Amino acid sequence: MHKRREEGIKVKLHSLKLKNFRGYKDEINIVFDDLTAFVGKNDVGKSTILEALDIFFNEGKGVIKIDKNDVNISEAQAGNLDTIISVSFKELPGSIVIDSSVETSLQDEYMVNSEGYLEVVKKYKNGGASKVFIKAYHPTNVKCADLLLKKNSDLKKIIQAEGIECENLNVNALMRAAIWSNYSEDLQLQEIEIDASKEDAKKIWEKLANYLPVYSLFQSDRKNSDGDNEVQDPLKEAVKQILSDQSLQATLNEVADEVQHKLQEVAERTLEKLREMDPDIANSLNPVIPTGQALKWQDVFKGVSISGDEDIPINKRGSGVKRLVLLNFFRGEVERRFSEGDNTGIIYAIEEPETSQHTDNQRKLIESLKTLSEALNVQVILTTHSAYIVKQLDFSNLRLLVEENGNKTMKDVLPGQLQYPSLNEVNYIAFNEITEEYHDELYSYIEFQGWKNAYCSGKPTRLYHRQLPNGNVRDEQKVLTEYIRHQIHHPENHLNTKYTRIELQQSIEEMRQFISDMEAEQLTEEP
């Protein structure tokens, strides 16, 4: 057993398994880094990943509420109504307190899966409330199985019946450790799902949930109504983070306990007086007063907002204004976290941060998010269609979501011909998207490397009519790639036959092959 709790330590998101949720019929496994950006075609399911995480972490109190329409259509027709959202966590605390004041660890409690991660599985029957399970590599020997589900009295019976030595029969964690130690040679470890809704396991899950990070989803444009639970205002996200502070939680619990105590006194006085007049009715009544832990403090501050001069909330403003506020929220968070050493666990999930922002603001935003992701216990998740943003990231940050034959798969983005992350290249390789932008990137790369003459050498040419500034026309011979390049950059020139899509693809393939050959040649020349 560990003797010291690592205060403030929050686990980090490692992976998500998603099954039977909207377009995700079959299980898909997605691994996250400190900064993860999803790319892929429109409507392939990038935003669905962020929304599934919101459902998991916020249980309908965030942006998204699950309902029966979220069940995959074909699975629903087949009678399978269980949506499964499974999240694994890494960087687990060395010690935890789960059912007493005595510290233990997830490893000691056999609550990690076969890979050593904490895996929490939530199942939603027909879009209803979640049922929580812990998937763990756990003892299945009937003599020491299901110990996390057993009450103190049940654990004592096992200890006494088997004559097992235990230093303290009042501490469940110590008793479980003693029992498992007794059967250490025959634990029969298997990966199983522990029902966290049963018996004492429910209390353990409630404690364990405190170690999970706060999840904040910032969506792209949506229609908002006054009653919409849309979370676009960063102040609302700040409330979640502030209230997750352990010292503040302790203060709020003290206030709640004091209020609870006084309410109890009022209720008891009332019932006492009622008992003088009608004992039967008085005895049938009981005061119902929520505990401090059950109070939803976040709702107290749900009215916070950044509003304009006419009290128009931020989520009602235009896309550009919303994103500018969001940009500077993240810039401010960078400074605050590094200056204060804030280690509150948080995941920022942002849909299409490039929305309504010119490239300079996109640059500032992605720089802020990259820096923020380097802070302790912070992760950033993006979806993007911006070639500019992708170019600012590392290959390790990118995840390509594709759909093939009705099945969705997640692929890493690997270095291609351009040697830097290029959304145009990703789309060409993954989806055969033939674009002028990718043609431009390849041409510019060849020019930058000083390879243009070598590329053009020996290739057939065609006549190109160049318009000069003085209005004259000069006839030039150009290889296909140059011919296309000039037409892309001089659309005002209508003197030449427009290249075809087949020719554009041919030129792209010729450049890709040339770059590959040149880089291979350079490798063979290196000592």
Least confident of 61-70, 102-111, 499-508, 517-526: 517-526
pLDDT reported for residue 114: 95
Q: For 28-73, how does the pLDDT look when each residue is reduced to its tens digit (9 = 90+)?
A: 999 999 999 999 998 899 999 999 999 999 998 888 999 999 999 9
The closest of 229, 283, 290 to 63, measured between CA atoms, is 229
User: Strand ranges (DSSP E) for 344-386?
Assistant: 346-351, 378-383
Q: For 426-467, how does the pLDDT look when each residue is reduced to its tens digit (9 = 90+)?
A: 999 988 999 999 999 999 999 999 999 999 999 999 999 999
Helix (H, G, I), strand (E, B) or coil at 407: strand
What confidence category does residue 102 fall into, taking pLDDT thresholds of 50, 70 and 90? Answer: confident
pLDDT reported for residue 405: 82
The whole-chain average pLDDT of the chain stands at: 85
Residue 297 has pLDDT above 80, yes or no: no
pLDDT reported for residue 277: 73
The closest of 364, 342, 341, 365 to 353, measured between CA atoms, is 365
- Nearest-10 Cα torsion for 193, 196, 199, 200: 110
d(CA 85, CA 130): 10
Q: 193 has which bridge partners? A: 135
Average pLDDT over residues 229-243: 58
Q: What is the pTM of this model?
A: 0.78
Contact between residue 39 and residue 393 where contact means Cβ atoms under 8 Å apart: no
Least confident of 173-177, 240-244, 354-358: 240-244
Q: For 305-338, how does the pLDDT look when each residue is reduced to its tens digit (9 = 90+)?
A: 555 545 545 555 556 666 677 667 777 777 777 7
Q: 400 has which bridge partners? A: 39, 411
Q: Higher-confidence residue: 185 or 325?
A: 185
The closest of 356, 354, 287, 291 to 320, measured between CA atoms, is 356
Residue 397 token pair? 């940050």
DSSP-assigned letters across all residues of 195-233: ETTSHHHHHHHHHHGGGSPEEEEE-S-----TT------
pLDDT reported for residue 153: 92
